[in-house]
A = this chain, B = another copy of it.
Amino acid sequence: MRLAELSRRSGVSTATIKYYLREGLLPPGRQINTTTAEYDDEHLRRLRLVRAMIQVGRLPVATVREVLRNVDDESLGRAIRLGAALWALPQVPEPDEEDEYVQSAHREADKLLETLGWSNARLLTTISPAYRSLVVAVAAFRRLGYDWGAELLVEYGKLMHEVAKLDVDFVETHPSEAEKMETAVLGAVLTEPMLQALRRLAQEEESGRRYGFE
């Protein structure tokens, strides 16, 4: 398809598509002659991904480029490639390793992964931003003197594992490796606000069941 059709089918203006092409967020089309290029379904899919990251996820262009570089890196195995694409997404600030709450949060997070039997995740603790996010969150609880029990974290962890199985199952329904990667990134950008909304709605439901709305 030509640029005009790509624009029509994606709902993205031709000016924006040209901007993405210049910024290297979209691979160039197949040049037919000096003024015309031909685009295909791969461009359409990539455009959808870029739009999701920029318009919904509000990610800066440099971050989008970094995520895509990992999505496209065929030298990596699937699990690492998936992780690398997600790890390029914005993360919480780094934990301050000198802080005593951060140090005990590390011990608590390690214990949690052990209790949950997440032996693969444990292999990644030195490099995974998700692990560092968990440490930051646990340290914040403890610094506030919040007595959230270790058992409760285990229960949340088990439920999040069920969520992750649905996530990975959905990624697997896509045939090509490229689509799997793109779906994983789209899922991370789009489903986090959705799960948060569902959790709050479920809290309203559960409060209403237990206490009624009077």
Contacts and interface: CB of A to CB of B under 8 A. Distances in A.
Interface of A: 11, 48, 51-52, 56, 77-80, 82-83, 86, 92, 113, 118-121, 123-124, 128-131, 133-134, 136-138, 140-141, 143-146, 148, 152-153, 155-157, 159-168, 170, 186, 188, 190-214
A204 B120 contact: yes
A48 B161 contact: no
A101 B2 CA distance: 26
Nearest to A86: B200
Contacts of A205: 118-121, 161, 164
Contacts of A193: 92, 133, 136-137
Given A121-B202, A195-B195, 9 more contacts: A48-B144, A48-B145, A79-B213, A86-B200, A118-B202, A137-B193, A140-B190, A164-B199, A195-B199
A168 B198 contact: no
Given A137-B194, A137-B197, A190-B146, A160 B202 contact: yes
A157 B197 CA distance: 10
A146 B48 contact: yes
Nearest to A167: B203
Given A79-B212, A146-B190, A159 B155 contact: no
A195 B156 contact: yes
A194 B164 contact: no
Contact of A157 (B82, B86, B202): B202
Contact of A120 (B80, B123, B191, B209): B209
